[in-house]
A = this chain, B = another copy of it.
Amino acid sequence: MQFTSEQRFDDGVLEREFTLGEIPGILWTPGSASAPAPLILVGHPGGLRNMYPRLAARARHAAAEGYAAATIELPGSGDRPRSSAAEEARADLRRAVQAGEPVADEIVDRLVLPLVDQAVPEWQAALDALLSLPEIGGPVGYSGGVISIGVRLAVVEPRISAALLFAGSFVPRSMFEEARQVTIPLQVLLQWDDEGNDRQMALDLFDAFGSKEKTLHANMGGHTGVPAFEGDDGNRFFARHLK
């Protein structure tokens, strides 16, 4: 893990860009911390540069409450090499959605499963590197992004203690089996009127999670319209489970 740039904001939060091998990432740490900070992994749909304003807002909101926050670029997004198979699957999905057709399971599988298979070990490697920093202690939460990545991480990564998931993307059928194996506390955000998302699939996925503590928050406002108060609710969810 190599830091490549840093800036400190007025609120004291330190933002550092880094690379982990070929993977770019960003780390935000609170301005003042008496003890190693708990960590929130900030998920996203891919494309750090485009997502930066929203990611930085979420991370600095968390840092204000004493959390470190970090994110890495997804495989095939941003400046990382494209996968022609993923691009093809994405085009097939877009065609189906635009034609108003149901999206075939095999398209979702081709798009999401290789992404999850590649991304999850990368987030785990990032976790290794981040937890070796003296200013970061854990426990660790995962927040947002491609929900299938969050589900797989919740199953395979014992260092993640709680996850705030955003039910806003297509989910392969096989992820439902993995969802049943999740036991950590979950808060799941669903945009009720998200036209690009399958609401019933999101409700079925929430139902499938094996966690004894799971909460669904559904709101209006479309895919990108998650209300601002959910940011506070997310911090309180992590405060219950990471502090």
The residue that A215 contacts in the complex, of B212, B213, B214, B217, with Cβ under 8 A, is B217
Q: Kindly identify, within residues 201 to 243 of chain A, every residue whose CB is under 8 Å from any CB belonging to chain B.
A: 203, 206-207, 211-220, 227, 229, 232-233, 236, 240
Please indicate which of the listed interface residues A192, A215, A232 has the most CB atoms of chain B within 10 Å of its own CB. A215
* Interchain CB contact under 8 A, B229 and A206: no
Question: Which residues from chain B contact A236 at a C-beta distance below 8 Å?
Answer: 229, 232
Residue of B nearest to A213 (CB): B220
* Interchain CB contact under 8 A, B229 and A220: no
Residue of B nearest to A188 (CB): B218
* Interchain CB contact under 8 A, B192 and A207: yes
The residue that A206 contacts in the complex, of B206, B218, B232, with Cβ under 8 A, is B218
* Interchain CB contact under 8 A, A214 and B220: yes
The residue that A217 contacts in the complex, of B192, B217, B229, B240, with Cβ under 8 A, is B217
Q: How far is the CA of A236 from the CA of B230 in the complex (A)?
A: 11
CB distance from A45 to the nearest CB of B (A): 23
Copies held by the complex: 2
Question: Which residues from chain B contact A220 at a C-beta distance below 8 Å?
Answer: 211-214
Residue of B nearest to A217 (CB): B217
Q: How far is the CA of A211 from the CA of B218 in the complex (A)?
A: 13
CB distance from A95 to the nearest CB of B (A): 29
Q: How far is the CA of A206 from the CA of B211 in the complex (A)?
A: 24
CB distance from A204 to the nearest CB of B (A): 12
With A192-B207, A203-B203, A207-B192 already in contact, the answer to whether A229 and B219 are too (CB < 8 A) is no
Q: How far is the CA of A240 from the CA of B219 in the complex (A)?
A: 15
- Going nearest first, the 10 A-B pairs with the smallest beta carbon separation are A216-B218, A215-B219, A214-B220, A217-B217, A212-B220, A215-B217, A213-B220, A229-B240, A215-B218, A216-B216
Interface CB pairs A-B, < 8 A, 18: A192-B214, A203-B203, A211-B220, A212-B220, A213-B220, A213-B227, A214-B219, A214-B220, A215-B219, A215-B227, A216-B216, A216-B217, A216-B218, A218-B218, A229-B236, A229-B240, A232-B236, A233-B233
Apart from the given pairs A215-B219, A216-B217, A217-B217, 18 other A-B contacts in the complex at a CB distance below 8 Å:
A192-B207, A192-B214, A192-B216, A203-B203, A206-B218, A211-B220, A213-B220, A213-B227, A214-B219, A214-B220, A215-B217, A215-B227, A216-B216, A216-B218, A216-B219, A229-B236, A229-B240, A232-B236
